[in-house]
Structure 1
Amino acid sequence: MSDKKQTQTEASSPSEDKLITEFDNNCFINREVSHMLFNARVLEQSLDQRHPLLERLKFLLIFSSNMDEFFEVRIAKLKRQVLFGREIFGPDGLSPRATLRKLSEMCHAYVQKQYQILNDVLLPQLEKEDIYFIKREDWTKPQKEWIKGYFEKEVAPIISPIALDPSHPFPKLVNKSLNFIVTLKGKDAFGRESRMAIVPAPRSLPRLIKLPSDDENTRDEFVFLSAIIHEYVSHFFHGMKATGCYQFRVTRNSDLDVNEEEMEDIAAEVKGKLLNRRYGNAVRLEVVENCPQHIKDFLLEKYELTEKDLYETNGPVNLQRMFSVFGMLEKPQLEYPEFSPELPSSLDSTSNLFDSIKAQDYLLLHPYSSFNPVLDLLRQAANDPNVMSIKQTLYRVGHDSEIVNILVEAARRGKEVTVVVELRARFDEQENLWLASRLQEAGAVVCYGVVGYKTHAKMMMILRKEDGEYCRYIHLGTGNYHARNARLYTDYSLFSADKNLCEDVHNIFQQLTGMGKTLPMNSVFNAPFTLKKKILRLIDGEIEAAKSGKSARIIFKANSITEKEVIKRLYIASQAGVKIDLIIRGICVLRPGMPGISENITVQSIIGRFLEHTRAFYFENAENKVYASSADLMDRNLKNRVEVCFPILSPKLRDRVINDLMMFIEDEGQSWILDQHGDYRLITDKPNQKFVQQILLDKHCETAKAE
C-alpha cells in the first residue's frame, strides 16, 4: 500500500535529459489480454467472502455472460482477421494468431476455475443455506415422480429430436442454444440404424426448475432442465436404446457486419443482419467433460473448430441461465441490503424542475442519487404547455422503458419530439428497432445518427417558452437513459440551463439530424471532431506546468483506455513529473510503473457491487479543471463515435467530483493495482475494510444498512 501512496503524493522530478517520445511494443499491454484480466477480476469476486453469498453466485454468472460476449465479439474478430489474412497488429505488436494462442490458455484456465468455484465453494455453501441444485443420482422417489410428470406435460410435447443420417444432415443450431448429442443402439420403425441424434432444448423452457416444497421440506430445491432431458432422453427414441447423452453448446460470431457504404436504409440493413446473427461462424464449442473423444472430434469437425476452441465443463454448459434462480428465492440475508438513493428536495417530483435548474446546475451520482429527476424532468416537459420541443439521444434504454413511454406521450400531446436512436448498440439492436417504430407511430421524428459513427452521447434538450423567449434546458450524462441500470451502474447526470452548454448541445443535435460543416463549440468537446485534440492539449498543459516547477496532476476515471496517442502523451507527462492517477475498471493498454517512462502513473481497477461506469477527467492547471464524458479513452470512442465531454462549471460541483475521485484513489477495499508486468493485485482483503462504494452508500443513502 505504501508504494501506491508514495506515487500519488509525490511525483518524480522531471529529468534533465530530453523526454522520450517514441515507445516500442513493450510499453503497451495487449488489448484482448487486458480484457480477459478484467473478466478474471470479476470471477475473483465470487470468492470474496465480503460479498453476500448470492451476490458471489451472481459474479460467477456475470463472468459466464462476459465470456460469452468475449467469444462472440473479440475472439470472433481475431479469427476473422486470421481467416481472411487481414491481421491487424495492436500497439503491443502481438499478432492476432499469437493473441488467440495466449487467450486460449487464459480462457481454458479461467473456465476450469469457474467450475471449481461453483462445485467446490459456492454449491456447498448454498446447501448450508438450504439451497440445493439436485443432481439426477440424488433425486428421491417423490422427486422422480414429480419430475417425470413435469417432463411428460411440459418438456416432451415441445422437443423435436433430429436423427443424424444421410436424409437428416447435421442441423444448423442456434447460437448459444443448449443441445444434446445422443448415441443410440438399435433400429427405428423404418429399419434405419442411426447411431447418433441431436436433441435441441427448446429456448421457451426454463433452464432451472424449482421443485415443490411442503411443510416437512422447506428447502429451496432446483433441478436443471438438462438433467431432466438427460434422464428421459430414451423417450424420444422408442424401441431404441440411448447409450450416451452429452450436452453441448456452440458460440458463434455475433458481431453485426453492416455495410454502411452501400446500404440505403440502415434500419432495414440492421434488421436483415439480425436474422443472420444466430447462425454466424462458430468460435467456441462447450461440452460436458464426460463426453467421449470421438464425439468431441465429430462436433469439432462439424463446426470447423480445433481442440483449442473446445471447452469441457464440469457442470451445465450454459451457466448464465442460472440467473433465474434469484427470482425464485426469498433470502434477503444472502443479498446486498436494499437502499433508497438520495433525492435533492429541489429536484423531487413536486418541484418545478425548470425553476430549480434555471437557478443552478445539479450533478447527480447514480445509483447513490435517484434517477427519478431525469424521468421527472422529461415528464414535466411532456405535460408543460410552454414546452415546445424535446430532443434526446437513446443508446440503451432497456425493455419497456419509461423514458420511451414519456417521449411517446409527449409526441401524442403535440410536442416536437426528435429522437436520435442508435440502432447499432451491440445486442440491443432489436430492442432499438422496436422502440424507434413506437416513437415514429406516436409522431416523433426519429433518425439514426450519422452513417459510420455510432451515436454514443447521452443528451437531452428541452426548449421552453418563458416570457416570450425560448429557454433551453439540458441533461448530459456519462451513462445511458436506462432506469434499471441506473441502480446498478455508477454514472454522473448533469442538469443545466447554462447558455453556452445549451448552445453546444443544440449544435450537436443539429449535426446529428441535419447536414453541414462542423459547428463551433463554446465549452463542450465532441467526438469525432475535438475531443481527442482537446484531451491531448490539456495533457500538454499539465506537462508545461510541471516543467515550469508547478504542481501538476491528471486523474482519469473511465471504463477503458486503449488510444495510443493519449497513452503516449501520458507517458511524456509522467516523464515531465506530472502525477497521473488512472482509475480504469476494464481494459488498460497503458503499462504503468516503467522506470523513466511511466513511474509517475498508477492504474487501479475497482470491482464491486456497482459497475463503475463514470467517466471523469481532472486537470489540475486547466481553466476548467473537471470534465465528465460519455466517452472512454478508446480508439472507437474518440474516432468513430459521436460523444460529448462537458465541463463541470459550478465550483461546488467541481469540488465534489474531485472529492469523489480522491475517494476512489484512496480506496483500499475494492482496488486492484496494475503493475508494470501487466498483472493486477488486490490491495487488501481485510474482512472489515470498507469499500469506497459502501462509503458512498453510507454517505448518500441513509436507508442503506447492513442486516
Structure 2
Amino acid sequence: MTEENTLDLNNPALYINRELSLLEFNWRVLQQALDTNVPLLERLNYLCISSTNLDEFFEVRVAGLIQQIEIGDPYIESDQITAQECLKLINQRAHELVEEQYRVLNEVLLPELEKESIQVLPRSQWTDEHNAWLKNYFQEEILPILSPMGLDSAHPFPRLLNKSLNFIVSLVGKDAFGRDRGYAILQAPRALPRVIQLPAEMHAEGEYKFVFLSSIIHAFAEDLFFGMKIKGCFQFRVTRNSDLAIDTEETSDLLATIADELTQRNYGDEVRLEIAHNCPEDMVEFLRNECAMERDNVYLVNGPVNLSRIQTVCSLVDRPDLKFRPFTQGRPSGLTLDVDIFDALRKQDMLLHHPYQSFTPIIDMIRQAAADTSVLAIKQTLYRTGAKSPIVDALVSAAQAGKEVTVVVELRARFDEEANVALASRLQEAGAHVVYGIVGYKTHAKMLLILRRENGKLRRYVHLGTGNYHRSTSRIYTDYGLLTSDKQIGEDVNNLFIQLTSLGKIPQMHKLLHAPFTLHEGLLAKIEKEIESAKAGKPARIIVKVNAVVEQEMIQAFYRASMAGVKVDLIVRGICCLKPGVEGLSDNIQVRSIIGRFLEHTRVFYFENQGSPEIWAGSADLMKRNLLRRVETCFPIESKKLRNRILDDLEIYLSDNSQAWILNADGRYHRVEKEDDAPSISAQTTLLEQMAKSF
C-alpha cells in the first residue's frame, strides 16, 4: 500500500486555522512598517492599513465566531478546532499584534518622523503659544459639537457608535443640582478630524506639527463640566459586529431591506473594547461590564485608540521624498488613446495587467459603446465600483442614449452596500435594467458584454477580469483583464447573463468554467491530470496565484499532487490553510506571499498539461464560498503570446527575493533573504518598469 493511500487527508492536523492565517497576513503587512527600504510615510501608511485590517477582522470574523457560540452553531473548518478554542488562539495572537503596532508607532515611526521634522506633539511638549492656539481651537471648533453625558439612572450608559472615539471621564464635585457626580461619557463626533495640523506660522519652514484630537479633548475637557473637577479622562473605542444579517429567502425587496439594515450596522453587538493603557483598573472594569465584554477582548493601548486615523498625516505632509515615487501606467500598443477598440479586438485578444497598465481602456470601451450607433446592448456585473464611478457614468450615458443596458449589481458586497444601493438607484433612474443577482449566491464574477451589429450580424465583445470595475483600486490592486471578441467566450458570457436575469438553467459552456457549477470540479480535474502525468513520468507542474487557499478538497488535491511528485507553487496573498513542506505530504509544495506597494489580487492558474500549458484567470479564490456559494467565472488565456506573458509574470513572482514571504508548516512566515551575490528582485518593481514602457 502506498504512502498516499495510508495518509488520512481529513486529519485536522494537516490544516492551518483560517482565522490565525488571516492574522498572520496582517502581521506581514505590519512588518512593512519596519522595512527601511520603504519610504517613511508609506511605512506609517502600512501601520494604519494593518489597523484597518484588524478592525474588519473583529467586525466580521471574530463577530461571526461569537455569534456561532451564542446560537450553538458548530464552527466547522478543516482544522476542526472549536469556536471557543479558536477565539482563545485569536485573542493571544491579536494581543501580540496590537502590542507590536503600538511599539512600532511609539518606538520606531514617531521618532523617525521627528527626525524628518514631522512631529505629533504630546501635551508635555506644548509651548504657551501652542496651548493658546489649541485652547481657542477647542472653544471654536470642538466644544460646540460635543455633548457630554453624565451617567445616572436617567442617563444610562449610551449605545456607542461602532469604532467611534469616546472618553470616559471621572468627576469630583457636585453638579448644578447638588448631586455628587461619578462618571461621564464623551463621544467625539465623526465630523471632527482626529489629527489637527498646527498653522505654519507656529513652526519653522519645512516642519510639520500635529496634535491628536484626543490630546486636545484631554487638555480642555474641564471646560465641559462647569464647577466640577476632572480626576481622569481616558479614551476608549468599541468595535461591533458589522456583518449585515439579511435573510435573502424571506425578503421580497432586497434593495429596501439592505438600505434599512445599513442604518443598524453601527450598533451591532460588541466584540472588542480598546482603552487607553493608563486608565485605572476600576474604570476599565466599569467599561468592560457596561459593554458586556470578556477580559480577553479588552485591549489596553499606548496611543490613539483609533490608530488608522493617523493615515491623515500621510496626506497632509507634502514630502514626495518620503512617499512612493509616482508612476505612469502603461497601455498596450494596440489600445492607444485614439484607437477603435472594437476594430482592435477583432484582430486579437488584449490583456491588461493593473495597476501597471491603465484601467482606462475598459472605461473607453463602454464610452465608445454608448456613442456607437451599431451597439445595441451592454451587460455588466458590478461588485465594487466606488462612490464616483466613471464606469457607472458611462453606463448611464449608454442607457440615456437608448442602448439596452443590463447591470447585475451585488448589493451585498461587504462594506460597499451603501454605495451599491445608491448606484443601483441611479442606474434605474437612467433607464437601465438592474437586477441583484441570485438569492443566496453573491454575484462576484467580473463580466462586461457589448453586443454590436456588424454587417447584418451580431458580434459580442467581452471583458473578463480578476478584479472589480473600480478605477481607484485599479491603481493599487494587481489584476488581469482579458478583452476579446472570441465567439464562444461571447456566447458563454451572454448565457451567464441570461441565467443571472432569468434564473433559468444554463446551457453547457463552450470555454468558461463558472461557479457554483463547473469551476470547483473543473479545477480539481486539471490538478488530477497533473497527478496522472507525474505518475506516468511526464512533466507536471502547477502554479496558482490567488488571495486565499481554504477549501478542503482543493487542498487535498494539492497534497495528492505533491505526493505524486508534481511541483506545486502557490502564491497566496492572504489566508492559506495548507501546510507546505511536510515530509511525505507536501514536500513539493511551496507557499509564498508577496507584500508590497500594491495589493496582490490576481487569480491565475497554470497547468503544465503534458507540455501544452494551460493558463486560466478568474474572479474566484480557492475558498468554499467562492467555489460553491457564489457566481464566479474562470476563463482560459488562449493566445500563446498572452499565456507566455502571464507565465513570465508568475516566474518573476517566484524569483522575488525582496518582498516575498515563505509559509512554514507551523502557520508562521519567514521573509525570503537575498543571497549576498544575488541581484535584488522585486516582482512589483520589475513589472512596474516593464509595463510603463508598454505604450
TM-score interval (norm. to shorter): over 0.9
Question: Following TM superposition, by how much is the alpha carbon of 1:518 offset from its aligned partner in structure 2, in angstroms?
Answer: 2.6
Match of residue 201 from structure 1: 188
2:90 pairs with 1:99:
no
Supply the distance in 1 between the matched residues of 2:597 and 2:118 (Cα, whole angstroms).
22
Letter in 2 for 1:696: L
Match of residue 555 from structure 2: 567
Structure 2 counterpart of 1:402, from 390, 395, 406 = 390
Match of residue 639 from structure 2: 650
How many residue pairs get matched? 691
Match of residue 630 from structure 2: 641
Kept in 2: contact 1:593–1:675 (CA 8 A): yes
Q: Secondary structure at the match of 2:357?
A: coil
Structure 1 counterpart of 2:266, from 278, 287, 292 = 278
Kept in 1: contact 2:162–2:240 (CA 8 A): yes
Structure 1 counterpart of 2:502, from 514, 517, 524 = 514
Match of residue 309 from structure 1: 297
Match of residue 487 from structure 1: 475
2:351 pairs with 1:387:
no
Supply the distance in 2 between the matched residues of 1:702 and 1:658 (Cα, whole angstroms).
19
Supply the distance in 1 between the matched residues of 2:398 and 2:84 (Cα, whole angstroms).
52
Q: Which moved more, 1:482-491 or 1:663-672?
A: 663-672
Structure 2 counterpart of 1:52, from 39, 42, 46 = 39
Change (3 A) 1:341 1:444: same
Change (3 A) 1:249 1:234: same
2:100 pairs with 1:109:
no
Match of residue 10 from structure 1: none
Kept in 1: contact 2:594–2:660 (CA 8 A): yes
Supply the distance in 2 between the matched residues of 1:140 and 1:243 (Cα, whole angstroms).
24
Match of residue 621 from structure 1: 609
Kept in 1: contact 2:4–2:563 (CA 8 A): no
2:142 pairs with 1:163:
no
Letter in 2 for 1:690: I
2:532 pairs with 1:544:
yes
Supply the distance in 1 between the matched residues of 2:230 and 2:583 (Cα, whole angstroms).
64
Match of residue 146 from structure 1: 133
Kept in 2: contact 1:527–1:639 (CA 8 A): yes
Letter in 1 for 2:599: L
Supply the distance in 2 between the matched residues of 1:83 and 1:143 (Cα, whole angstroms).
51
Letter in 1 for 2:568: I
Instruction: Specify which structure has the bigger relative contact order, considering alpha-carbon pairs within 8 angstroms and separated by 6 or more residues.
Output: 1
Kept in 2: contact 1:249–1:287 (CA 8 A): yes
Deviations 1:156-199 (A, max 9, x none): 11111111011101101100000000001111112222211001
2:424 pairs with 1:433:
no
Match of residue 177 from structure 1: 164
Structure 2 counterpart of 1:532, from 520, 530, 533 = 520
Structure 2 counterpart of 1:676, from 665, 673, 685 = 665
Supply the distance in 2 between the matched residues of 1:154 and 1:242 (Cα, whole angstroms).
21
In the TM superposition, what are the counterparts of 1:353-502 in structure 2 within 5 Å?
A: 353-502=341-490
Deviations 1:509-534 (A, max 9, x none): 01111121132101100000000000
2:677 pairs with 1:689:
no
In the TM superposition, what are the counterparts of 1:21-100 in structure 2 within 5 Å?
A: 22-100=9-87
Question: Following TM superposition, by how much is the alpha carbon of 1:201 offset from its aligned partner in structure 2, in angstroms?
Answer: 0.3
2:111 pairs with 1:124:
yes
Supply the distance in 2 between the matched residues of 1:676 and 1:16 (Cα, whole angstroms).
19
Kept in 1: contact 2:274–2:300 (CA 8 A): yes
Supply the distance in 1 between the matched residues of 2:265 and 2:402 (Cα, whole angstroms).
38
Runs of 4+ aligned structure 1 residues displaced above 3 Å come to 14-23, 685-688
Kept in 2: contact 1:340–1:702 (CA 8 A): no
CA RMSD of aligned residues (A): 1.6
Supply the distance in 2 between the matched residues of 1:129 and 1:17 (Cα, whole angstroms).
59
Kept in 2: contact 1:21–1:572 (CA 8 A): no
Q: Secondary structure at the match of 2:200?
A: coil
Change (3 A) 1:189 1:57: same
Kept in 1: contact 2:579–2:667 (CA 8 A): yes
Match of residue 11 from structure 1: none
Supply the distance in 2 between the matched residues of 1:618 and 1:642 (Cα, whole angstroms).
22
2:306 pairs with 1:318:
yes
Question: Following TM superposition, by how much is the alpha carbon of 1:598 offset from its aligned partner in structure 2, in angstroms?
Answer: 0.9
Kept in 2: contact 1:19–1:572 (CA 8 A): no
Q: Which moved more, 1:483-492 or 1:673-682?
A: 673-682
Unaligned runs of 5+ in 2: none
Supply the distance in 2 between the matched residues of 1:16 and 1:229 (Cα, whole angstroms).
66
Kept in 2: contact 1:46–1:60 (CA 8 A): yes
Deviations 1:600-631 (A, max 9, x none): 11100110010000000001017660000100
Match of residue 6 from structure 1: none
Unaligned runs of 5+ in 1: 1-13
Supply the distance in 1 between the matched residues of 2:26 and 2:237 (Cα, whole angstroms).
21
Supply the distance in 2 between the matched residues of 1:324 and 1:671 (Cα, whole angstroms).
28
Q: Which moved more, 1:83-92 or 1:665-674?
A: 83-92
Match of residue 221 from structure 1: 209
Q: Secondary structure at the match of 1:204?
A: coil
Match of residue 662 from structure 1: 651
Deviations 1:436-481 (A, max 9, x none): 1111111111110000000000000001111111111000100000
> Quick one: percent identity of the two aligned structures?
51
Change (3 A) 1:437 1:17: closer
Letter in 1 for 2:685: Q
